Structure formats: structure tokens, C-alpha cells
Amino acid sequence: HHAGEFSARHAIEIGGQPWVLVVTAPAQAFRSDHFGPYAYALMVSALLLTGLFAASLLVLSGNSRRIQEIVRDRTRRLDLSARVFDSTAEGIIITDAQRGIISVNPSFTAITGYAAAEVLGADPRSFGAGEQDSGYFGAPWETLTEHGRWQGEVWNRRKTGETFPAWMTISTARDGDGQILNYIATFTDISQQKQAAEHIHHLAYFDALTGLANRSLLELRGEQAITAAEPAHRLLAVLFLDVDRFKTINDSLGHLAGDQLLQTVAERLRCSVRDEDTVARLGGDEFLVLMADLNRREDAALLARKILAALAVPTRIESQDIAVTASIGISLYPYDGQDFPTLVKNADVALYKAKEAGRNRVQFFEAAMSAHSFERLVLENALRGALDRGELMLYFQPQINIATGLVVGAEALLRWRHPDLGIIGPKRFIRLAEEGGMIAAIGEWAIRTVCRTLARWEQEGVPCTTIAVNISALQFKQDLADLVREALTESGIAPRLLELELTESLLM
């Protein structure tokens, strides 16, 4: 103590913080002869003050720890937000309340090509591609003001000038009074998604080989055309086209050459029609042209002749010049059908009549053709099981030498014994067999039957003579030589007795 005072200092630690406790009192208060009520009061007061001070320090130190924890938590959150801002794949734009850009993230630069320094202070709308509809620029801000959030597809422009579609979300940040402080926009480049969607749409509605409309798109446009034609009392034409002898060309030159030929046909069709017409590929070598808004029937005939002339120009495929011919059947709305499927069906019927008449022709549908078409359908269905049911048979017409009167050979004539229609000649069903893929089986049956018949005649002592069998062109594509060799071996007859007759269509 000094100068008549007693003073004590003591270092203590509270809540992790160092403190110094100082106690000062007059010296006589601690003398034994003065140790009375004052000294006791002083001691009690000192203890109380010390306790209160210690308690206050504990509270303060506890608050300090909580504040430090809050600061550390906020720091971690800010650090996480910064990492997300910098690393997210979405472009982010932050503006002030006046829509001036105050910050962008690296993905914004990667997507648009603009560095942050180039856009600070700019209005984000200046990067729009100008391809938005007229109400675009007002709509997002009205929605933001009312709901605090807007989302939609926009077109933006890169620094290079290239435009791209983006999916954008804009939200607002507000103060305690609800006033907007910032706008935050995030966006993603959806160019690849749009391209994928367009590719899927193209696959759904367009032919992969030719790029023409497919059956789905054709039917959609057909119904739309009829809906438009009905109140206007306008004509509508359906032209059904089939490439003549395409299968022979395809089998002779190969499928790649066949595909190239189909692409050539598609391009010439596309160049022949009007802009408002629809050209479609239905499959194989079948094409269809939909002509809407016609004034007269002759317009369809003129287009059909124009198409035939365009196809007739030779095209170079596999080092060969090939001139294509086609048959075209035409049906007209409203005369030949009130709906699109009926128009297509009747155009197909007319097409078949054009082929029957010699190919490379144009044929309009006529009501009388429907009965013929129905008969053709009945025969085709019955023919598929005729061979298994044993309804096909061979007649042998002898060939006689006029000078000697002797039989020098015979020709096998194919007939179909229909249970209801009686004996049917080949002219009525051979083409059906060829078009339906049944001719190979019928031809094989005919060759084997002739060989077995010759063997039986030889066993029965009947004088043997040559028998001629007509051969379809399609059989030459299906190992005919192996078939003949096998039939001769099984029957045991001399090869000279079997004669194969080639039809003119094969040589052509």
C-alpha cells in the first residue's frame, strides 16, 4: 500500500479472456483497531461487486462466443455461395434495382463470350436476340413485380453475334420494407435440347431416306386440307405414284443404288410440285402428292404429266444411265371421297389400273374400279393358301409338228381351281402372286411337278418329250439354277426333257 491507501491487483481469466481485478481502500480500514462495520461493509461490497462483475463478464463472454459462431457460420455460407456462384454451369446475372448489371459469374462468360468488365452497368435486355414476341420485354418485369419470380424461354445473343435459345429464371431480392434491391437471373443454353427435339420431330413426321413427309404428316395435312376445302367448295387431288419395275432395278443394282434412285425420284417430285403441295413417301417406291386448293380437274392431270416427264430424264447410278417410269393414280375431293383415307384408297385403286394398262400412265379414279379392286383383294387373300390347299394345277398343251403330225413337246399351263370361282387363268392371278411375294413358291412347285410328271410318264412307258415351263423374272433372283439341279436329281429325268421359257418381261 502507499500514500495511506491499500491496493491489490490480481490477474484472472474469464470466458477465455484475460482480466485484471484491482481493489483499493484506505489503509486504516484494515488496521486491527479500526476493523469494524466499515471494513465488513467494504468487504461485502467488494465481494458483491466482484460477483456481479464476474457474472457480467461471463454473459459478455458467452455473447462473444455466439457472435463469433454466427460470424463463422455467415462466413462459411458466403464462401459456399461464392463457390456455387463461380462453379455452377448456369449463367448468373445480378443487377441493381435499376437493372444495371453489378455482377456475372464465369459461366455467363463461357456461354455468351462477354467478360464481366464488358457488361457491368449494362441492361441485360441488351443481350436479347430480338427474336422474342412483341410482348416479351414487358411480361417478365410485370410478373416479377407481382410475384417476385419469372421463368421462361428466351433468345439471347453471344458476343460473336450468334443467337441461341436459353431457359431463364429471374427472381428478386428485397429489403425489410419489401423494396427491390436486386434482380438475380440464371439461364441455361438449351441449344442441344432444342436440336434434339427438332430431330425427334423430324423423325416423327419425315422420311429418313428422302426427307419427304411421311405417312403421319401426310394424314395430318390431308385432314387439314379437306377442312379448308369444304367451306370454300374447292377441289383437292391425291396423286398416288409407284415407280415401275423398281424391285427389278433394286435387285439388279443393289440396295444402295435403289436408295439413290428413290432419293432422285423424291427430289424430282419436290421440284415438280407447287410450294403449297405436300410430297410424301409412304414406303418402298410408293409416293403421294397432295394438291390442295385446285380450280379444276385438269390441274392434277397437268402435274401428273409434268412428274412423268421429269422422271423420264435419265439419271446416272452405278455407272449406268437409268430412265425411270412411273404409274400414277389420281382421286379428287369431294367426288371420290369425303375423307382423306378414302381418297388415298381410291387413288391406289386408280394406280393399279394404270399399271394394268401398261405402266407409265396416269389414271383417274372411277367408281366402277371399286368392284374390281374388291375382287383383286379377295383373289389375293385366297391365293396365299391356294398352294397349300392343292388348288393349283398344271395342264399340258402338246406341241405338234405340222409336217409329220407327231407330238414333239408340250407346254405346262398353270391354272387355279378356285372352290367358288372355278378355273382361273394365269392372267388374273400371276401379277398378284408377283406383287404379293408368292411367285417364287408357285414357280418352284411348277418345276418340281413337271419333273415328277416326266419321271412318272417314263415309268409308265409313255413316250417322253420335252415340257416347257414359263419362268417369272423374279425367280432368277432366287437361286433358280440350284432349284432346277435339285429337281432333276430328285426325279432322275434327263435334263434335256425340261425346257425353261423366258417371258418377254424378263428380257426387258
Between 480 and 313, name the one with better pLDDT: 313
**Looking at residue 26, what is its pLDDT?**
66
**Number of separate domains in the chain:** 4
Task: Return the minimum-mean-pLDDT range out of 109-123, 143-157, 279-293.
Answer: 143-157
100 and 164 in a single domain? The answer is yes
| All cell numbers assigned to 363 | 389414271
131 and 54 in a single domain? The answer is no
190 and 212 in a single domain? The answer is no
| All cell numbers assigned to 155 | 433468345
Determine the structural domain holding residue 41 and report its residue range. Answer: 5-70
**Looking at residue 271, what is its pLDDT?**
95
**Looking at residue 285, what is its pLDDT?**
92
For range 195-217, the mean pLDDT: 88
361 and 502 in a single domain? The answer is no
Is residue 495 one of the residues assigned to a domain? yes
Residue pLDDT, tens place only, 429-455: 887 888 777 888 898 999 999 999 999
- Alpha helices per DSSP H over 461-497: 480-491
Q: Name the 3-class secondary structure at 27.
A: helix
| All cell numbers assigned to 362 | 396416269
Is the pLDDT score of 137 beyond 50?
no
- The pLDDT-based confidence of 505 (bands split at 50, 70, 90) is very low
Whole-Å CA distances, 312 to 243, 248, 369, 449:
11, 17, 28, 42
Beta bridge partners of 11: 20
**Looking at residue 507, what is its pLDDT?**
42
161 and 273 in a single domain? The answer is no
Q: How many C-alpha atoms does 6 have within 13 Å on its Cβ side?
A: 10
According to the per-residue pLDDT averaged within each range, which of 6-10, 227-231, 369-373 is highest? 227-231
For range 468-480, the mean pLDDT: 76
Is residue 418 one of the residues assigned to a domain? yes
For range 321-336, the mean pLDDT: 91
Q: Name the 3-class secondary structure at 217.
A: helix
**Cα–Cα distance, 500 to 29 (Å, whole number):** 149
171 and 252 in a single domain? The answer is no
188 and 104 in a single domain? The answer is yes
Give the chain's length: 508
Between 233 and 21, name the one with better pLDDT: 233
Is residue 199 one of the residues assigned to a domain? no
According to the per-residue pLDDT averaged within each range, which of 82-86, 144-148, 392-396 is highest? 392-396
Point out the domain boundary residue: 169, 194, 219: 194
The one-letter code for the residue type at 124 is P
Between the two ends of the chain, the Cα-to-Cα distance in Å is: 138
Is the pLDDT score of 289 beyond 70?
yes
For range 75-84, the mean pLDDT: 78
Nearest to 387 by CA among 322, 442, 328: 442
Query: Diameter of the chain by CA atoms?
Result: 181
For range 238-258, the mean pLDDT: 87
**Looking at residue 17, what is its pLDDT?**
63
**Looking at residue 130, what is its pLDDT?**
54
Is the pLDDT score of 140 beyond 70?
no
- The pLDDT-based confidence of 43 (bands split at 50, 70, 90) is low
Chain centroid to CA 59: how far? 70
Is the pLDDT score of 133 beyond 60?
no
Average pLDDT value over all residues in the chain: 83
Nearest to 339 by CA among 505, 224, 417: 224
Point out the domain boundary residue: 28, 44, 70: 70
Q: Name the 3-class secondary structure at 364.
A: strand
| All cell numbers assigned to 236 | 383437292
231 and 180 in a single domain? The answer is no
Is the pLDDT score of 134 beyond 50?
no
- Render 244-274 in DSSP notation, one character per residue: TTHHHHHHHH-HHHHHHHHHHHHHHHHHHS-
**Looking at residue 268, what is its pLDDT?**
95
117 and 146 in a single domain? The answer is yes
Is residue 257 one of the residues assigned to a domain? yes
**Cα–Cα distance, 415 to 430 (Å, whole number):** 10
Residue pLDDT, tens place only, 366-395: 877 665 666 676 788 888 888 889 999 999
158 and 212 in a single domain? The answer is no
